[in-house]
Structure 1
Amino acid sequence: MNSARISELLKTRPKTNQSWGLYVMGVSTKTKPDLGIAVAKKLVRRAVDRNRLKRMIRELVRSAQATSLKDDVVVKLKKPIGRQTRGRLRRQEQDFLRAQITELI
């Protein structure tokens, strides 16, 4: 997905909860749905954790696109993670974030 398309999607009204913003816009019938992920370095300090979150998001959105979601999607993290664990993403917080993104999709 190119930056112009991401900017266009970010101007739409998102579905949100505590930690995530989900921006969805219909796709034309000729192209396949795309996915954009925004996990800022300010919110997730460690690259390992940013990559883990991105993999988790890709997995959840692809499974949703296979069943019901047929649109372009941008997922954006809104809150910093790891406040109690000195910036590290732990299993409990990862499960919490996974549950929240599943609710949005």
Structure 2
Amino acid sequence: MNSARISELLKIHPKTSLFWGMYVAPIQEGCKPDLGVAVAKKLAKRAVDRNRLKRMIRELVWTAQANTLNKDVVVRLKKPIGRQTRGKLRKKEKELLRCQILGLI
């Protein structure tokens, strides 16, 4: 997904949960559904956690796009993770984030 398309999607009012903002728009003609993921370094300090979140988001959204969601999607992290665990993403928080993404899809 190119930066112009991402900017266009970010102007749309998102579906939101506590931690996530999800921007959804119809696909452009003649194209397959696309995905953009934004996990800022300020919000997820460790690269390991950022990469884990991105993999989780890709897996969930691609599955949804293959089954029912035939749209372009940009997913963006809104709040910092790991406040109680010194910046580390733990299993309990990871499951909470996964549930919230599934609720948005």
TM-score, reference length from structure 2? 0.98
- Displacement, 1:29? 3.7
Q: 4+ runs of 1 displaced by more than 2 Å? A: none
**Counterpart Cα distance in 2 of 1:10 and 1:29:** 19
Secondary structure in 2 aligned to 1:101? helix
2:56 maps to what in 1?
56
Number of matched residues?
A: 105
1:23 aligns with 23
Task: Letter of the 1:22 partner, please give it.
Answer: M
Identity %: 70
Provide Cα deviations, 1:42-70, integer angstroms capped at 9, x if missing partner: 00000000000000000000110111000
Q: CA deviation at 1:17?
A: 1.0
Which residue matches 1:34?
34
Task: Tell me the distance in 2 between the aligned counterparts of 1:91 and 1:71.
Answer: 30
Aligned to 2:76: 76
TM-score under structure 1 normalisation? 0.98
Q: Is 2:34 the counterpart of 1:8?
A: no
1:53 aligned partner, one-letter code: L
Query: What amino acid does structure 1 have at the position aligned with 2:51?
Result: N
Where in structure 1 are there 5+ consecutive unaligned residues?
none
Residue 28 of structure 1: how far off its partner (Å): 2.5
Which secondary structure does the structure 1 equivalent of 2:74 belong to? strand
Aligned residue in 2 for 1:91: 91
Q: 2 CA distance for matches of 1:28 and 1:21?
A: 21
Question: Structure 1: which amino acid aligns with 2:28?
Answer: S
Amino acid at match of 1:30: G
**Superposition CA RMSD, Å:** 0.6
- SS of structure 1 residue aligned to 2:94: helix
